Amino acid sequence: MNKRLRDLFLISFCCTFFYLSFPKELSAIEADLGKSLFKNNCAGCHINGGNIIRRSKNLKISSLKRNGIDNPEAIAKIARQGIGIMSGYEDKLGDNGDQIVANWVWEQAQNAWVQE
């Protein structure tokens, strides 16, 4: 019985690990909120993923990776705390807003900012 319980635990752990390691698509509600947060707080400087102030600091996938920003968590940190001359938006984005907008930006970057 003890071995059976251990095996069940091990299988459950492995399944959970693999589930959590796969990238998740944004839910429609989260995607709409991410888009709205971006439009209201980021699009003034980052129109369609560009950058009107410093062109090399845009949100295109090649620029993000070149600048060491290779996941949504890195984008969320910048959205929250700011970087260089860009101020942080933690107060304006609200609870978990940094992560929501970062997930949306990452998805847009993956799709070359092609709007549907």
Any idea which of 6-15, 62-71, 83-92 has the lowest mean pLDDT?
A: 6-15
Can you say whether the dihedral through the CA atoms of 54, 60, 63, 64 is positive or negative? positive
pTM: predicted TM-score of the whole model, two decimal places: 0.76
DSSP, residue by residue, 10-33 = HHHHHHHHHHHHS--PPPHHHHHH
pLDDT digits (tens, 9 = 90+) for 13-48: 776 766 555 555 568 889 999 999 999 999 999 999
In whole angstroms, what is the distance from residue 43 CA to residue 29 CA? 19
Q: List domains and CATH numbers for the chain.
A: 27-110 (1.10.760.10)
